[in-house]
Amino acid sequence: MSFQPDTSVPCEVLPAVNHGKRADDTSIDMLVLHYTGMKDEQEALQWLACKESGVSAHYFVFEDGKVVQMVPEHRRAWHAGKAFWHGKRDINSHSIGIEIANPGHEHGYRPFPDIQISSAIALCRDIADRHGITPKNVVAHSDIAPDRKQDPGELFPWAQFHASGLGHFVEAEAISGGRFFQFGDSGEPVAALQEMLALHGFEVEKSGNFDEATQACIHAFQRHYRPERVDGIADVSTIATLHKSLDALLRG
């Protein structure tokens, strides 16, 4: 299916096979950022384009900054999988998915080149402006599926995106000592932590038990906001940064 690009950012078109109709009564109000997680970016592009993969994305950004559109924006690409964010579950119907070429944690994860990030920012800025996507809804794949995904990972420059008006971000509080919560802990303080994570957008049961789902959300939060140490432990730095982030969200 050939089509014309939706974006004004220079790009090529390589139609993907796996996509469908967005759910009725949904609007495009999210941007989900991924890394490809494959050794070779050309192979990743072809994988996203073929039927056998069972996945797709709207856009692909190469390391040299080249952009390819694979699915028309009005169509539902298959990029998010089982996911949740601020009460939404069918994230694919609400979102534009962007794959950013990087080998990922399993194949030699490395920093994203400046030219690639500049291109991704220009693309995301264009999409967000056209669809009215707010910063809190420009998210990592790991934000919406913390139990399954870790992309685009702790090396992704969220501060740079935020400075361009894309994505929510606050500077992390310094890592220090003090009381912490970790897997297996329980009690009212853990329930309060889970409440804060839920307010931030994550799907987490407010059980008071620091379970695997809570640990996964802490991992995801740290990758996005406290990348210096991603260990799944809710230490003083992580909790203070979470407070700071929620305050910023409430202020709009």
In the predicted structure, residue 1 carries a pLDDT above the cut 80: no
The rounded mean pLDDT for the chain is: 97
Closest to 22 measured CA to CA, from 85, 98, 80: 80
What pTM, to 2 d.p., does this model score? 0.97
What is the per-residue pLDDT for 177?
A: 84
DSSP string spanning the chain? -----SSSS--EE---S-EEEPPTT----EEEEEE--SS-HHHHHHHHHSGGG----SEEE-TTS-EEE-S-TTEEES-S-S--BTTB--HHHHEEEEEE----TTTT--PPPHHHHHHHHHHHHHHHHHHT--GGGEEEHHHH-TTT---S-TTS-HHHHHHTT-S---PPPPP--S--B-TT-BSHHHHHHHHHHHHHT------SB--HHHHHHHHHHHHHH-TT--SS-B-HHHHHHHHHHHHHHHH-
Q: Are 25 and 58 members of one domain?
A: yes
**CATH code of 67's domain:** 3.40.80.10
pLDDT category of residue 242 using cuts at 50, 70 and 90: very high
What is the per-residue pLDDT for 250?
A: 86
pLDDT category of residue 252 using cuts at 50, 70 and 90: confident
**pLDDT tens digits, residue range 161-186?**
999 999 999 999 999 988 899 999 99
**pLDDT tens digits, residue range 106-158?**
999 999 999 999 999 999 999 999 999 999 999 999 999 999 999 999 999 99
Q: Are 29 and 153 members of one domain?
A: yes
The parent domain of residue 246 ranges over 188-251
CB 76 within 8 A of CB 85: no
Give the rounded percent of residues in the chain with a pLDDT score beyond 90.
96
* Residue 173 falls in the annotated catalytic set: no
Inside any domain, residue 174? no
Among the listed residues 99, 154, 173, 203, the single catalytic one is 99
Q: Are 208 and 155 members of one domain?
A: no
**pLDDT tens digits, residue range 42-83?**
999 999 999 999 999 999 999 999 999 999 999 999 999 999
Q: Are 102 and 69 members of one domain?
A: yes
What is the per-residue pLDDT for 181?
A: 96
What is the per-residue pLDDT for 2?
A: 84
Inside any domain, residue 5? no
